[in-house]
Amino acid sequence: MPSKPSRSKIVKKLDAIFSQYIRLKDADHNGDVTCFTCGKVSHYKKGMQCGHFQSRKHYATRWLEMNVAVQCVGCNMFKAGEQYIFSKQLDEKYGDGTAEELYIKSKETVKYSNDELQDMIKHYKDLVDSL
């Protein structure tokens, strides 16, 4: 009987497929995406990442689509996610107060079962396959 994958491997797999979906859904017909915080345009596989407004350490918002956007590696890694600009962009895109709502939501305690995480992997894999 094959062993079940560890929780950390399941989370890593979900992070990867979720990131791919976030970058692909906003890509044009050439695969180019625009950084949410600085406007840089590049191919979704080249230096573009799935940036989080509220840190990935918060499971309540880690895989919440409204909490993430495409960011260039410069903004996401070297400029710590440009959180202030990110918050302004979120409020502009989704309405005033969105950033604050995400901040509050990120403080909730959420514990996903391995089965729930596997279901999310399947969901985002299906979405990627449909793009």
pTM of the model: 0.93
> What are the residue boundaries of the structural domains of the chain, listed by start?
19-117
pLDDT, tens only, 84-126:
999 999 999 999 999 999 999 999 999 999 999 999 999 999 9
Residue for token pair 């050439």: 30
Q: State whether residue 42 is helix, strand or coil.
A: strand
Cα separation of 36 and 76, whole Å? 10
pLDDT, tens only, 6-48:
999 999 999 999 999 999 999 999 999 999 999 999 999 999 9
Cα separation of 67 and 76, whole Å? 13
Cβ(1)–Cβ(105) under 8 Å? no
Of 84, 26, 22, 23, which Cα lies nearest the Cα of 53?
A: 84
